[in-house]
Amino acid sequence: MRQAGFAYAQARMQARFAARPEAPEWQMIETGRDLVQALDAAKRTALAPSVARLGRESSREAVETGLRKAWAEQVDEVARWTPPAWRAPLEWWVLLPHLGLADADTPLALPGGDSLAQAIEAGARAGAAWQTGFTARLPRGGAAALEPLAPLIAAYLEGPPRALTERRVLKRGLERLLRARAGEPAAAFAFLGLMALDLERLRGALLLARMYPVTGEGEAA
């Protein structure tokens, strides 16, 4: 059921969705001979804000940090498009793509991640701790509104790295949900899921270009 206050968010999300890189643009990014070429290709697409902090001398750590900050900004922006009651659970999604990388030895150093890190340190699994925090932030009736999203959340709780076929299945599911639940809260979460997949793919391309630049006739440095 459509909810008042989500029309503005839906319009913004649809515009962003339509501007996402298509196959030829991804090919340019993923076939860059080095980080400079990959970044230049990304800056010619809607991914430009995500790589604004990065340059030719960016280290692997700088790439990781820059993309994490870009993701946090995207989550914050989408949350601000929505009614106030939904902002807290949307903001909690800043942690979702990183759960597969979190454990008791490597707590999440991300905005809003302190409570999750504490739960992990206390022995809770990252996915379970995230789910508890997410449920606590939902408005009344929120769990029912997001019921169609449950299988996709479960896929995300496993975290990256993700096989290409798995990523495609998840992407198609999120795209269907974005369209089928237009104007509903679930669409906002599906949209963030798609943005997270794009950043996951971008991260892989940039790190590959950074760590294994091609310097000769098809030979890596």
Residue 1 lies in a domain: no
pTM over the 0.85 mark: yes
Distance of CA 218 to the CA centre of its chain: 32
Residues 6+ apart with CB under 8 A from 146: 138, 153, 185, 186, 189
Q: What is the pLDDT of residue 54?
A: 96
What whole-number distance in Å separates Cα of residue 182 and Cα of residue 3?
A: 10
Q: What is the pLDDT of residue 219?
A: 54
Residue with token string 């449950």: 150
| CA triple 130-188-69, angle to 5 deg | 60
**C-beta neighbour count of 112 within 10 angstroms:** 16
Residue 15 lies in a domain: yes
- Token pair listed for 202: 């971008």
Residue 179 lies in a domain: yes
Residue 170 lies in a domain: yes
Residue 220 lies in a domain: no
- Token pair listed for 164: 């290409």
Mean pLDDT for each consecutive 10-residue tract of the chain (221 residues)? 76 96 97 96 97 94 92 95 95 81 53 64 73 91 91 78 80 93 94 93 94 70 54
Domain limits for position 23: 7-211
Domain count, the chain: 1
Q: Which residues on adjacent β-strands are paired with residue 214?
A: 220
**C-beta neighbour count of 46 within 10 angstroms:** 16
Residue 172 lies in a domain: yes
Residue 217 lies in a domain: no
Residue 216 lies in a domain: no
What whole-number distance in Å separates Cα of residue 15 and Cα of residue 58?
A: 30
What whole-number distance in Å separates Cα of residue 157 and Cα of residue 18?
A: 27
